[in-house]
Amino acid sequence: MRIAVVGSGYVGLVAAVCFAELGHEVISVDNDTQKTAMLQSGEIPIHERFLPELLAQHRGRAVTFSSSLLEAARASQAIFIAVGTPQAGGGQADLSYVESVARELAGAINAYKLIVEKSTVPVFTHDWIRKVMLLNGAPADSFDVASNPEFLREGTAVADFLYPDRIVIGVDSERAAALLREIYRPLTDGTYRPSMAVAAPDHPRRPPKLIETSAKSAELIKHACNAFLAMKISFINAVANLCESVGADVRQVCDGIGGDSRIGPKFLNPGIGYGGSCFPKDLAAFRMVARECGYDFRLLDEVSNINADQRHRFLRKVRNALWTLRGKRLAVLGLAFKGGTDDVRESPAIAVVEMLLKEGCEIHAYDPAAMERAREVLPAANMSYASSPYEAANGCDALLVLTDWDEFAGLDLDRLAAALAYPVVVDGRNLYDPAVMASRGFSYYSIGRADVQAARQTSGASRSV
């Protein structure tokens, strides 16, 4: 099938390449001509596992890139809208990019078209897309608008697309439903065979369940899903804080409650809170939709409050470990909002670094993928970037773990201890075992677990920590 995907960000680019992988002919459209030229030459503006390999395989054949929405839409049967929906004032989603696409699509109707929301949008957006297109001259019977929310996680987005646990299509006509069923048929009938080795997520459903709903229900599903996952993260962070107060171990608590099949272990990872381009924005938008409908969804307020407080609690933990912060030289591991991506939008790691800089600390940071993006949002003063975790730790008063990269969990602890001026580690992602850290001579502070003090002392220390 011929498909146009409008927008080449994290969602749009992954969708375009993966649709090509499923055997469709895809045109990826973006009004950023510089980005389009980059993609045409094979360069990828984001860090996403398996995406470079798939793009290299399908670029110029099953997937092409264009800056002309009009031409791409006229050449396609289905047009997926995957443009940005940033948070506007008051918490609602800014749908101006979606509206702009809808206006332009109205002039591209040369045969029946299926317009599909792929961006995360509030309920009733499909109605507004249809109204905008009708007001701009599109014949009423020449198109349908459907919702097909994405459930992609940055860092594993390609695998999530090709090995989904469910596919949701929100449709209000059988014609639209039939077209979307055909688009995803290689996945739902089990005939898709990967052209290259893409590691599947844990226990993928084969084939995935196809959930057919109304467009309104599909729009609500995406926001409700992200709000629930954010709530699960805030819940376990609140439990971790309680564990610290009573002397319990949050790891054991997580094992106990995550073993319940009704709850499950995923997202029960205490730390410095959630971030990224989805959870904070979608939670705010969902809360705003509820308020506009006359419902006070107070639970969402508390989820957001717990998340914000978690960063301040971590700062207090750093202060407790070091006594004073002004003038301290700190190594920071991780700047992305999570491991596996270079995305620093709403990153709790960035928020913590900003607070430490305001406290007068000197920061030496390392991230495997996100340092270039971090340079764009962090002040240059008292901030430097290292080429390795050990270089970042060299001569520092303490090391802070802020992002859950697998690379950090496998560091040489003896080498790390030798690099630091003082063997102090404050772990915001619980990557290490406290007993192991104590045996290696570290004073170790983590989330929801008892602090441990160094089993040996560093000689010659002249600064108070």
DSSP per residue over 121-157, as a string?
A: --TTHHHHHHHHHHHTT--GGGEEEEE----PPTTSH
Q: Could you tell me the CA-to-CA distances from 396 to 35, 138, 370, 392 in Å, in that order? A: 39, 63, 21, 8
| pLDDT of res. 195 | 83
Distance CA 196, CA 208 (A): 20
- Look at residues 429, 437, 393 and name the one whose alpha carbon lies nearest to residue 413: 437
CATH fold for domain 222-306: N-(1-d-carboxylethyl)-l-norvaline Dehydrogenase; domain 2 (1.10.1040)
Which tokens belong to 133? 């297109």
CA atoms within 13 A on the CB side of 350: 22
CB 352 within 8 A of CB 311: yes
Q: How confident is the model at residue 365 (pLDDT cuts 50, 70, 90)?
A: very high
Q: How confident is the model at residue 300 (pLDDT cuts 50, 70, 90)?
A: very high
C-beta atoms surrounding 34 within 10 Å? 10
Distance CA 156, CA 7 (A): 19
Q: Which residues contact 278 (CB under 8 A, 6 or more apart)?
A: 120, 226
**H helices present in 189-297, as ranges:** 215-246, 250-258, 279-292
Q: Which residues contact 89 (CB under 8 A, 6 or more apart)?
A: none
Distance CA 455, CA 442 (A): 7
User: In the chain, helix, strand, coil percent, each to 5?
Assistant: 45, 15, 40
CATH no., domain 2-213:
3.40.50.720
What would the mean pLDDT of 360-372 be, rounded to a whole number? Answer: 97
Q: How confident is the model at residue 92 (pLDDT cuts 50, 70, 90)?
A: confident
CATH fold for domain 311-445: Rossmann fold (3.40.50)
pLDDT tens per residue across span 218-245: 999 999 999 999 999 999 999 999 999 9
Average pLDDT taken over every residue of the chain? 94
Distance CA 444, CA 413 (A): 12
Distance CA 109, CA 106 (A): 6
| pLDDT of res. 463 | 43
pLDDT tens per residue across span 263-290: 999 999 999 999 998 999 999 999 999 9
Q: Could you tell me the CA-to-CA distances from 66 to 4, 104, 151 in Å, in that order? A: 10, 15, 26
- Look at residues 229, 35, 218 and name the one whose alpha carbon lies nearest to residue 127: 218
Please state whether the peptide bond connecting residue 207 to the residue before it is cis, i.e. omega within 30 degrees of 0.
Answer: yes
Q: How confident is the model at residue 456 (pLDDT cuts 50, 70, 90)?
A: low
Q: How confident is the model at residue 51 (pLDDT cuts 50, 70, 90)?
A: very high
One-character DSSP codes across 32-43:
-HHHHHHHHTT-
Question: Boundaries of CATH 1.10.1040.10 in the chain?
Answer: 222-306
Q: How confident is the model at residue 87 (pLDDT cuts 50, 70, 90)?
A: confident
Catalytic residue numbers, as ranges: 278
Amino acid at 141: D
Three state DSSP letters for 365-411: EECCCCHHHHHHHCCCCCEEECCCHHHHHCCCCEEEECCCCHHHHCC
What would the mean pLDDT of 140-145 be, rounded to a whole number? Answer: 97
Q: What are phi and psi of 4, to 5 degrees?
A: -110, 135
What would the mean pLDDT of 409-426 be, rounded to a whole number? Answer: 97
Question: Boundaries of CATH 3.40.50.720 in the chain?
Answer: 2-213, 311-445
Q: How confident is the model at residue 198 (pLDDT cuts 50, 70, 90)?
A: confident
CB 309 within 8 A of CB 272: no
Q: Is the pLDDT assigned to residue 303 strictly greater than 50? A: yes
Which tokens belong to 305? 């409050």
- Look at residues 276, 277, 300, 279 and name the one whose alpha carbon lies nearest to residue 288: 300
SS3 state of residue 291: helix
One-character DSSP codes across 420-447:
SSS-EEEESS--S-HHHHHHTT-EEE-S
What would the mean pLDDT of 136-165 be, rounded to a whole number? Answer: 95
- Look at residues 260, 264, 169 and name the one whose alpha carbon lies nearest to residue 208: 169
